[in-house]
Amino acid sequence: YNIIIAVLPKSKYSILFIVVIIKNILYSFFNIKIKLIVSISSGALIFKYNIYLNNIIVSTFYNKKNSIF
């Protein structure tokens, strides 16, 4: 398997830095078929779903919107 691991600096956990890193990875490795972003966080910002620290969140784009399964 070919695996890409990107680690952000301790003080750089923001959406902007994550988007820049993902954009650069997808530009460099354009044949990526499966993308899994793993993050350690204190919780989810969407209160509609019961998401806990030990949950695995799988999402995809559906009708130009994010969908959480």
Q: According to the model, what pLDDT value does residue 36 have?
A: 63
Neighbouring residues of 17: CB distance < 8 A, sequence distance ≥ 6: 8
Per residue in 3-61, pLDDT (tens digit) is: 777 776 666 667 777 778 778 888 888 787 766 666 655 555 555 655 555 555 555 55
CA distance 58 to 36: 8
- Give this prediction's pTM: 0.43
Contacts of 53 (CB under 8 A, 6+ apart): 41, 42, 43
- Cα distances (angstroms) measured from residue 1 to each of 24, 31, 43, 44, 59: 20, 13, 30, 30, 22
Separation of alpha carbons 59 and 35, rounded Å: 10
Model confidence at 69, pLDDT cuts 50, 70, 90, reads very low
pLDDT at 16: 76
